[in-house]
Amino acid sequence: MKQLRLSGSGGQGLITAGIILAEAAIAEGKEAVQSQSYGPEARGGASKAEVIIDDKFIYHPKVVNPGVVLAMTQQAVDKYSADLAEGGLLIIDTDLVPNPPQGKKIISVPITKLSTEKLGRELFANIIALGLLVKITGVVSLDTIKAAVANRVPPHTVDKNMEALLIGYQAI
C-alpha cells in the first residue's frame, strides 16, 4: 500500500494533482482513495491532498503514516511532515522550503522555479510536482499519468501541462 500526501498552500493546485494521481491509479486497475483538506482561506492557507493506492481493497481511507510527503511550502513541511513513515521520503520545493527538517530523507527540487523559468508561470508547478512524484515512486506509469492529466485539465492547457509533467518527470 502506498500512502502519499501532497501539501502546500491553497491555490497551488495540489488537490487537483492528488485527484489526477488517484484517477491514474484507478485507470491502471488499482484501488485508490483520495481525500483533501484546506484552511478557510481561498488562497494561501495550508492545504493537503492524500492518496492511498493499493492492489487490494482499501478499508481505511485516511493516510496515517505517509511513505511520501510532497511539501511545496515551509508551512506545509511544518504542518504535514511530522507523521512521515520511518524511512519515508520528503520531497520539497527548494526555494519555498528554506528550513527543511533534519533527520529525514529529502529530495529537494526547485519545482516552482522550474515552472516559472521553463513555462513562464507558476501555474504549472503542481503538474511538475506530479511528474516528479510519479518518477520517484513509480506508483503509476508515465503513459497513465499523461492520460489522467489530459482528461482533467482544461483542453487549451493540455500541451503546457504535458510539458510540465515531463519537466517534473525528468527533474531527477
The ranges assigned to domains in the chain are 2-169
d(CA 73, CA 38): 14
Q: pLDDT-derived band of residue 38, with 50, 70 and 90 as boundaries?
A: confident
> In the predicted model, is pLDDT for residue 42 greater than 70?
no
How much is the average pLDDT of 149-153?
Answer: 98
In whole angstroms, give the CA distance from residue 57 to residue 72: 30
pLDDT tens digits, one per residue of 5-14 = 999 999 999 9
In this prediction the pTM is 0.96
Is the pLDDT assigned to residue 27 strictly greater than 70?
yes
Quick: pLDDT tens for 105-131. Answer: 999 999 999 999 999 999 999 999 999
Check whether 26 has a pLDDT greater than 90: yes
Return the CATH number of the domain spanning residue range 2-169. 3.40.920.10
